[in-house]
């Protein structure tokens, strides 16, 4: 998963959490030198070092981070190395790829004592091999200033994006190479059905849709509402992206179209066959804990899965969580994903 610009969580917040938080099952009395647990994750991983250090002091576990590209590349690597895992625990498998990882037996069963604080709402596996850590709903974003300056009404829905008034204004990521691109494709399947989504994409292409390989290029180079000030005012990004585009007046310069969102949840799990199973479970507990969950919005621009975690100031206005995002059942995604991508390539790239 790729997000918009990141900031570091306020030092006072971190200090308070470090001083006051205890983790389920972590005594902090381990006289041994810290044991190293390898966390395999995507390139967007970011966490305050002081929070990681506090976890190490409390648990006797040092987290070594191994980044493996975006969510798709991460999933592929974990599947290819499942007979000899490259780590002990993984974070960042999202709901577009979770079914593949589960079918391939990448993770072992573990129900964290922290899971009943909210993450189980997003469970995709009755065996509880994956625990939800955060949400990063994929939505169309618009540059509100562009439309105000041009005197053009902002689009609001999937259908609006095919209107001639928005010709040559939209950029999206390829679902073959991008996690948000795949999520947007799945959103159109959920919206228009397996018989209707191809017709919708045909209309988007005819209306001048531009597709690029990944989020970085789409958002920071092509989108006019980002620091890159590109030529296109409509982009596929995240519901949380406007929180990174707050102007000097304290107001967001962009907006997520909440009727176009697809729910993307990120998960963590203990890797089957890993060498540090018990300690890997403690790392999953940590990722679901208040101590870590309070950092995910400010550092990775996603919404915490845990209930009762306060969001950064301004998110309620700039980045409200979509209330009725599109979703598809994991089994349906697993059955259709590769075929839909192949059909998309024929329609859009052919």
Please spell the DSSP secondary structure of 151-196, one letter per residue. T-PPP-STGGGGSGGGTT-EEEE-TTT-HHHHHHHHHHHHHH-TTT
Per-residue pLDDT of 279-295, as tens digits, reads 999 999 999 999 999 99
**228-260 exposure pattern, b = at least 16 Cβ within 10 A, e = fewer:** eebebbbbbbbbbbbbbbbeeeeebbbbbbbbb
The mean pLDDT of the chain is 89
pLDDT tens-place string over residues 167-218: 999 999 999 988 899 999 999 999 999 999 999 999 999 999 999 999 989 9
At 32 the pLDDT is 59
**Residue 239, pLDDT score:** 95
CA angle, 344 then 219 then 225, to 5°: 125
Task: State the pairing for strand pair 131-135/138-143.
Answer: unpaired
Residue indicated by tokens 């890797």: 271
What are the E-state strand segments in the chain? 35-41, 61-67, 89-94, 131-135, 138-143, 170-173, 210-212, 234-238, 254-256, 265-270, 303-304
Confidence of residue 18 (pLDDT cuts 50, 70, 90): very low
Per-residue confidence band for 309, with pLDDT thresholds at 50, 70 and 90: very high
Fold category of 35-135+265-318 in CATH: D-Maltodextrin-Binding Protein; domain 2 (3.40.190)
- The model scores a pTM over 0.75: yes
pLDDT of residue 15: 40
Total residues found in the chain within this entry: 350
CATH H superfamily, domain 136-262+324-349: Periplasmic binding protein-like II (3.40.190.10)
pLDDT at residue 75 greater than cutoff 60: yes
Residue 279, token pair as written in the block = 């300690």
Q: In the block, which residue shows the tokens 């306060």?
A: 310
CATH code 3.40.190.10 region(s) in the chain: 35-135+265-318, 136-262+324-349
């Amino acid at each position: 998963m790729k997000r918009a610009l990141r900031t570091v969580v306020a030092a006072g917040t971190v200090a308070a959490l470090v001083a006051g938080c205890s983790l389920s099952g972590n005594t902090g009395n381990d006289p041994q030198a810290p044991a190293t647990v390898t966390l395999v994750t995507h390139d967007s991983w970011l966490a305050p070092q002081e929070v990681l250090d506090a976890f190490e002091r409390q648990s006797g576990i040092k987290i070594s981070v191994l980044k493996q590209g975006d969510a798709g590349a991460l999933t592929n690597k974990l599947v290819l190395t499942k007979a000899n895992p490259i780590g002990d625990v993984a974070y960042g498998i999202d709901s577009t790829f979770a079914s593949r990882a589960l079918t391939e037996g990448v993770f072992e069963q573990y129900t964290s004592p922290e899971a009943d604080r909210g993450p189980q709402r997003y469970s995709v596996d009755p065996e509880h091999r994956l625990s939800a850590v955060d949400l990063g709903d994929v939505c169309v974003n618009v540059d509100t200033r562009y439309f105000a300056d041009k005197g053009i009404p902002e689009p609001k829905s999937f259908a609006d994006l095919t209107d001639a008034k928005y010709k040559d204004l939209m950029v999206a990521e390829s679902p073959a190479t991008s996690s948000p691109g795949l999520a947007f494709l799945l959103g159109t399947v959920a919206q228009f059905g397996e018989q209707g989504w191809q017709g919708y994409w045909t209309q988007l292409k005819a209306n001048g849709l531009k597709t690029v390989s990944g989020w970085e290029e789409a958002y920071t180079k092509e989108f006019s509402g980002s620091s890159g000030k590109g030529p296109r005012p409509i982009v596929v990004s995240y519901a949380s992206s406007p929180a990174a585009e707050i102007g000097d007046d304290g107001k967001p310069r962009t907006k997520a179209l909440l009727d176009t969102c697809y729910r993307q949840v990120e998960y963590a799990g203990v890797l089957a066959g890993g060498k540090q199973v018990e300690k890997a479970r403690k790392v999953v507990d940590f990722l679901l804990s208040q101590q870590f969950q309070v950092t995910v919005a400010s550092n990775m621009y996603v919404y915490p899965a845990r209930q009762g975690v306060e969001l950064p100031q301004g998110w309620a206005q700039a980045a409200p969580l979509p209330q009725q995002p599109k979703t598809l059942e994991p089994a349906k995604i697993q059955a259709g994903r590769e075929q839909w991508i192949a059909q998309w390539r024929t329609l859009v790239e052919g």
